[in-house]
Amino acid sequence: MNLWTYKRRFQIDGKTYLAATRFDFKTLTTTLSLDGQVLAEDSTQYTQPGGQRNHVLRTQLPDGRGLVVTAGYISSWTTGIAVHIDGALVHESHPGRKIEWPDWSRKMADGGDDPVAQARATAEQQRQTEQWNRNKYSIYVDIALGLLFFVVAKFTNLTTAALVGAGAGLAIVVIQRFVRVDLLGGLAMFGIFMLLVSAGFSLVFDDENMVKMKGTILGLFVAALMLSDALGNGGRYFGVRMQRYILQPIDPARFTLGLGCLGLFMAVLNWVVAKVASTDTWLFYTTFVDIVISVALFFVVLKFARRDEPAAPAAGGASPS
């Protein structure tokens, strides 16, 4: 499943080329194309040792000159490209920025040159693979419930969609007792809980507007938990526990503070869309747009919480007096 695609365009001799880098849970792939025709492709499994390298795409221009596009990360959250023709640099998407995976990321992926770190990295990769295999069905359930709510709401109304979604969620809880795969891990159980909240509101208040408030309730709930941990506990509860799922080193207090602010923002945004826009617009927002904004802002939170590790002292260097 494609998670994100970075698109970098550049022009040569009046023609527009596209370097598109897409990534999923395991693989990073870059394609170079012109007018929809793929000219070159490079792909790596970034979770494997040696997989965190730049992509190099080579092709020839119509006049025979060699075109080389180097693509890769220039920071923890975005990519860049450098374009060379016959060895001469002709284009940079981010002038002056070095195209290279962050050092902390490469060390976590392959352990660098330390055999102990390499073994630890291999074990971590195996753990992540096992974790994905364990959680993927619950992710599918969460997506299916969201799409079910959208489809039913489009053909009926929000109250019916909330009741149908809650019924489907309860059915999955029952089915879980008879299957061995985990259907309720991760966010699936929380998604079912939110559908039950929506259904409860629709029954108690008999008002579709209350169904629309599920995103606001979710945002306020997350904000309350994260801000209380950040401001009252230095992030030592949620922040420390979530740190094991984040590849880069983070400050737990700043991370939970950022998540709290993210929750508040998404709560307010949902409230505004629910109050100002039509029901169809809100339905499209809550099903497809909300998650995109949340993921984008989550990367901003990661940048805010990033903790740079101190550089190791040079070998044989004298201690400061």
CATH code of the domain containing 54: 2.40.128
95/12 same-domain check: yes
Contact 264, 215 (CB under 8 A): no
Same domain, 276 and 237: yes
Q: Is residue 121 part of a domain?
A: no
- Domain assignment present for 227: yes
Residue 212 pLDDT class (50, 70, 90 cuts): confident
Query: What average pLDDT does the structure give for the chain?
Result: 80
266 and 287 assigned to the same domain: yes
Q: Are residues 167 and 229 in the same domain?
A: no
Q: Quickly count: other Cβ atoms within 10 Å of residue 280's Cβ.
A: 10
Between 115 and 219, the higher pLDDT residue? 219
317 or 194: whose pLDDT is higher?
A: 194
Residue 153, phi then psi, degrees to nearest 5: -65, -35
The answer on 73 and 11 residing in a single domain is yes
Question: Residue 15 sits in which domain range?
Answer: 4-101
Pairwise CA distance, residues 159 & 27, whole Å: 40
Residue 225 counted as domain residue = yes
3-state SS class at 11: strand
Burial class (CB in 10 A: 0-12, 13-18, 19+), 316: exposed
**Could you say which of 54, 86, 101 is where a domain stops?**
101
314 Cβ contact list (under 8 Å, min separation 6): none
| Residue 112 domain flag | no
User: What number is the average pLDDT over the span 309-313?
Assistant: 44
Q: Averaged over 262-291, what is the pLDDT?
A: 90
Q: What is the mean pLDDT of residues 195-219?
A: 74
Residues 205 and 263 both lie in one domain: no
| 222 and 158 within one domain | no
Report how many domains make up the chain.
3
Cβ–Cβ under 8 Å, residues 69 and 81: yes
- Asked whether the predicted pLDDT for residue 57 surpasses 90, the reply is yes
